[in-house]
Amino acid sequence: MAMDSIVLFGPPGAGKGTQAQRITESTGLPQVSTGDMLRAAVGSGTAVGLEAKRYMDAGKLVPDNVIIQLIIERLKKDDAKGGVMFDGFPRTIPQAEALSQIAYVSHVISINVPDAKIVERICGRFTCKTCGFVYHEVFNPPLVIGSCDHCNETDFKKRADDNEDTVISRLEAYHNQTSPLAEWYKSKGILCEIDGDRNIEEITQDILEALN
């Protein structure tokens, strides 16, 4: 029996990945991040990675056919049988239409953050090199500075595209191509809007309530 999937929706830097990491245990749904999948493909130099890299470096959306194919393959894996938590997908109407053919989405959680807050969030972002946990230099540092809260790793990394130049293009892509999806999902009655301009724990609580 296929179970419900949920979508975490919002601008770059809204906190989708941060919240996904915090609710994956309570929901039992694995996080499916197209951004993480694309970075893995770039890292291993696959054909998909080579094609995707130039879009990612420019802060543009990777073509729909590439993304949809990645998702179709991902949903074939055993751990996706009970539904998944999509993070950063869908980002266009054609992606959402494709998704509606292959999975049942019960909730779209829209994490709303004003543009003015996005640049500082993205420019301060870094992740654990081993477990991928997301931190922020100012807003969400590890409890013990220099050591991951979850796996004690002392090595961290920053994304090449997390700089002020690409953030501007990524926000533009968000407003032009992605934000119309909010209305689309609202008209289907499954959009839950969450104020993402608060502290991380409050947002997590609201999301868990919306899912109940």
Q: Which residues are catalytic?
A: 16, 91, 125, 159, 170
Q: Is residue 142 near ligand ADP by the rule CB under 6 A?
A: no
If one asks whether residue 203 binds ligand ADP (CB under 6 A), the answer comes out as yes
- The crossing angle, in degrees rounded to 10, of helices 164-173 and 115-123 is 140
Pattern of binders to Zn ion over 142-171, x per CB under 5 A?
Answer: ------x-xx-x------------------
Region from 24-32, 43-51, 61-69, 183-191 binding ligand ADP, contact rule CB under 6 A: 61-69
Alpha-carbon distance of 138 to 125, in angstroms, equals 9
| Cα distance between residue 175 and residue 48, in whole Å | 25
Shortest distance, position 78 Cβ to Zn ion, whole Å: 25
Q: Which backbone phi and psi does 190 adopt, to 5 degrees?
A: -120, 10
For the CB of residue 1, give the shortest distance to ligand ADP in the complex, in Å.
27
Residue 187, CA distances (Å) to 93, 113, 182, 191 in order: 13, 21, 9, 8
- Contact stretch for ligand ADP (CB under 6 A) within 33-41, 75-83, 102-110, 187-195: 33-41
Spatial contact of 210 and 27, defined as CB atoms under 8 Å apart? no
The site for Zn ion (CB under 5 A) is made up of 128, 130-131, 133, 148, 150-151, 153
